[in-house]
Amino acid sequence: MHKLTPVFIAGALAISGGLAIAENQGNGGDPMQGHNMSDHAMPVSDNPATEAFVAANGRMHKDMTIAFSGDADIDFMRGMIPHHQGAIDMAKVVLEHGKDPQVRKLAEEVIKAQEGEIATMKTWLSDHGK
């Protein structure tokens, strides 16, 4: 199995979550209406690393809320770009705040791989007039 396959699987799962949100758009624009999210609240912290992770996570999820086209290929590419950018942003938090050499090395590898994949996805979208 290609080492990036799990990343694409995770992205597909994230996009399918986005589809579920899109199905709930009839809830006055609140896709989470009726859901108790108190157990899933982001931690309140004055820790700079935690604050940076919370911010990166929020940006990623906001940017993954795309207008779905009905074309699985296009929607996958459009949804995966912000998902990958979220991984890059989280890896940068590790490089700024992390200490473990193995984790820092992995973060550097994630940045390099995700930037390359984002470029591939943007090129694909451009080549397909999207």
d(CA 100, CA 17): 32
Per the CB < 8 A criterion, the answer to whether 114 and 85 are in contact is yes
The share of the chain scoring above pLDDT 90, in percent, equals 63
d(CA 98, CA 38): 29
Per the CB < 8 A criterion, the answer to whether 75 and 126 are in contact is no
Encode pLDDT of 15-63 as tens digits.
555 554 544 444 444 444 444 444 455 556 789 999 999 999 999 999 9
d(CA 130, CA 74): 8
Per the CB < 8 A criterion, the answer to whether 74 and 128 are in contact is yes
